[in-house]
Amino acid sequence: MTVSGIDEQLVPGSGVQINLRAIGDPEKPPLLLIHGIYDEWSSWNLVYDDFAAEYRVYAVDLRGHGKSDKPEQGYEPTDYAADIASVIRTLGLSDIPVIGHSLGAVTTGYLAADYPALVKAVVLEDPPGRFDSNTGSRITPMLEIKRGTEEETYTFFKEIGPNLGEARWRDQTRRLRNTADGPFEVIIEWAERGYSPDIVGTMGRVQCPALLMQSDPEAGGVLPDDLAGEIVAKLPNGEHQKFHGVGHNIHKDAPSEFARSAMEFLHKHR
């Protein structure tokens, strides 16, 4: 897909440089997109056209990802959120809608809780409700295979997603190998220490309108029903939508439904 009007720049985060892509008409209202772990701004390729029809779309590479700086440390949710707050301020923006996926959804929640003046409304796409031993057991093999050969990484993705196809396997291989070790190491450390950032509690501090999009746990979603219920119960202005039969990457596996739901929510909170 070719996206018109693409600008790329490095902007200051919290002690690092963050790669930013801006897509669409600069005269339209802003919208910020934040990807998940071992991904990058192009994660949103399948939905850019839908959002760019009404918004100037900004998409970041989180620290440790894509073309952003990759420090050895600094991968707590508060670090990611501080980066994004700096990016928004550098752009001269405030009170903007933000959409985040997975780790990006956690970042979005912390951003809205800790920097409320910067955020108008949020869409939280399948955030992990906690980082625990189960999370560690999923992340550890990814770090190990990332440190292997390129062909080993490719084979890993081909085996766990046999129906995704050559282009997706190669893209996943490239993105994983281009991600720093730090984002994985800190999650593994949380699992080993039995410590997890208080994601559910943080969501309770999000005062702006929030849409929690939940993937189907039986199809690969990472947010179980009980924690989805806890999050929605704590959100003062929260809504919940579950995508039955859709895995963790809703915006990739059901892009039309994802974009439609997100836009309907954002229209209510312009």
Written in H, E and C, the secondary structure of 91-157 is CCCCCEEEEEECHHHHHHHHHHHHCHHHEEEEEEECCCCCCCHHHHHHHHHHHHHHCCCHHHHHHHH
Angle at 34 between CA 262 and CA 252, to 5 degrees: 60
Residue 8's H or E segment, with its range, is strand 6-12
Answer yes or no: are the C-beta atoms of 6 and 19 closer than 8 Å. Answer: no
Sketch the domain layout of the chain as residue ranges: 6-128+198-268, 131-195
What is the model's pLDDT at position 12?
Answer: 97
Exposure string over 5-14, b if 16+ CB within 10 A, otherwise e: eeeeeebebb
What is the model's pLDDT at position 109?
Answer: 98
Q: What is the largest CA-CA distance in the chain?
A: 48
Q: Going by C-beta distance under 8 Å and a sequence separation of 6 or more, which residues neighbour residue 71? A: 15, 16, 63, 64, 180, 182
Beta bridge partners, 56, equal 30
Distance CA(268)–CA(264), nearest Å, equals 7
Phi/psi for 202 (5° steps) reads: -65, -40
Answer yes or no: are the C-beta atoms of 20 and 11 closer than 8 Å. Answer: yes
186: three-class secondary structure by DSSP: helix
176: three-class secondary structure by DSSP: helix
Answer yes or no: are the C-beta atoms of 99 and 32 closer than 8 Å. Answer: yes
- pTM exceeding 0.85: yes
What is the model's pLDDT at position 138?
Answer: 85
Token pair recorded at residue 138: 């999923």
pLDDT in tens, the chain (270 residues): 233 445 889 999 999 999 999 999 999 999 999 999 999 999 999 999 999 999 999 999 999 999 999 999 999 999 999 999 999 999 999 999 999 999 999 999 999 999 999 999 999 999 998 877 777 788 999 999 999 999 999 999 999 889 889 999 999 999 999 999 999 999 999 888 888 899 999 999 999 999 999 999 999 999 999 999 999 999 999 999 999 999 999 999 999 999 999 999 999 998
90: three-class secondary structure by DSSP: helix
What is the model's pLDDT at position 134?
Answer: 77
Instruction: Please state, in angstroms and as integers, the Cα–Cα distance from residue 163 to each residue in 27, 139, 146, following that order.
Output: 40, 21, 21
CATH number of 6-128+198-268: 3.40.50.1820
